[in-house]
Structure 1
């Protein structure tokens, strides 16, 4: 079902699954996806949850302004807080969606009962890994490329050839059927659509060191970055974009953390192993 949510910054589009009377599950996609990222997973959860799958600000039908400041984490968190309303729910985030999910859990904890992250990272362990110049910094050099002016034009050229190359680099994209690819291309909306998606990278304060070098850590408000809620981290072990070192020390910020590994899956685990991911979520949310 298609739904629009009113927010102070403009309407948010969402696909929803399941009976609205069921407990709610907010499912937050990353880059370069959209609400359709959950089409394999959400139906497997819809007997237990009312799944809300928005196009986040700057993506898909929601769109967004051509203003980098509009994509700061605080603004993106405010968008999803408006979608949630007054009653707390379970939040699931992947990739950049994990950043918003963590932001909700940290800064709007009254809205989050439980936090589920699927191959996404907490800001402190991730920033530490990016700044030390090791394997994660090397894997994340693409962030600098995306932040460059006009990167959206290069990614949109030749029917998104470079975007698809980035999307699939060292990853299994066999789940991307021709119909799904057509839906993704429609959601991307050319260079103009990609621009607002990439603004998430431009607005981020993350500092990425060169491989083999190290940078001083930014001043982070460590005392405000804790997760009090029960927290499940699901990790596809073959991910080459986000590496295990990006989650090292997470327990210091999330004392109620449960880690579950999914062997044979990579960054796109919700597409590659939706039955397994659904089983993990359903088991964890009933304990």
Structure 2
């Protein structure tokens, strides 16, 4: 693994990479509450075929941490990665997990010339996800934690008692226990950087997506620009079926927005499939990509 600080749109971002820079680029976008180093489980299985590049996204790790919720709207997050792709050389394959999927989808939808293939691992397209979160059913119930994370005091609650709150969130809200003590120590180091935890939570606060109360559907949602929310490149959706936060119905109808869609389920995994079975995830990627063979 190599690391460097990169200037993106005049701001400093920390970027990790694995593999030969002459190989095709795979841009790997982490979610909450991770950081670029979270891809260290998967990248070794792919580096013979890709130059794997994993930034700490805005507000995370050692990257730029602006204050204010307004600095975490999706368009701003996308602009960071546009600058990184232009630095790396477009087009690239983009992979997103959790919140990283929101940025990955944004790149594929709004900057299609920069993305030749899109891989999502337990992440959601905004239209099916908003539909299910607003319906007042199972996904609305599963997403109630979002309201908790958006609360003004959530950073204090999450960081209390040596980050016991965020550790509990990891272990209970999002699936099986895969965090060993050494890994948790690395995460705590990243969460403890000044201003980071509140900035990470600003991703939730800045999102316009609405969460209905269970049994109380939201019926007055603003119209979404459906024609602009289409993925035109080949799209692979990898899914850990035991995910407690993102339910399968949150991806129903995705084919309406991604005509060239391939779905692959990774058995016996949940939201954290990239950690739980990285070899199976890598093999699914290589089987889907043209001109790639078996994992090392």
TM-score (norm 1): 0.97
Shift of 1:190: 5.7
Q: Which moved more, 1:5-14 or 1:78-87?
A: 5-14
1:190-205 mapped onto 2 (5 Å cutoff): 192-205=195-208
Answer with 189-198 or 135-144: which moved more.
Answer: 189-198
Q: Secondary structure at the match of 2:8?
A: coil
Q: CA RMSD in A?
A: 1.1
- Contact 1:233-1:257 within 8 A present in 2 as well: yes
| 3-state secondary structure, aligned to 2:119 | strand
Within a 5 Å distance, the mapping from 1:183-194 to structure 2 comes to 183-189=186-192, 192-194=195-197
Q: Which residue of 2 aligns with 1:99?
A: 102
Aligned equivalent of 1:241, options 245, 270, 285: 245
Indicate conservation of the 8 Å contact 2:129/2:251, yes or no.
yes
Q: What per-residue deviation string (whole Å, max 9, x for no partner) do you get for residues 137-157 of structure 1? A: 100001101111121011000
Count how many residue pairs are aligned between Structure 1 and Structure 2: 286
Q: Which structure 2 residues correspond to residues 149-188 of structure 1 after superposition, within 5 A?
A: 149-169=152-172, 171-174=175-178, 176-188=179-191
Matched with 1:277 is 281
Q: Is 1:156–1:190's contact at 8 Å kept on the other side of the alignment?
A: no
Structure 2 distance, partners of 1:215, 1:276, is: 38
Deviations 1:170-217 (A, max 9, x none): 61123x222111110001126721000000000000010000110022
The answer to whether the Cα contact below 8 Å between 1:147 and 1:202 also exists between their aligned partners in 2 is: yes
The equivalent residue for 2:272 is 268
TM-score for the superposition, normalised by structure 2: 0.94
Partners of 2:24 and 2:141 lie apart in 1 by 40
List structure 1 runs of 4+ shifted beyond 4 angstroms: none
Contact kept, 8 Å, 1:25 with 1:91, in 2: the verdict is: yes
Q: 1:250 offset after TM fit, Å? A: 0.3
Shift of 1:276: 0.2
- In the alignment, what sits opposite 2:48? 47
What 5-or-longer segments of structure 1 have no aligned partner?
none
Q: Judge conservation of contact 1:241–1:267 (CA < 8 Å) in 2.
A: yes
State how far apart, in whole Å, the 1-side matches of 2:152 and 2:10 are.
25
Q: Is the 8 A contact 2:12 2:64 kept in 1?
A: no
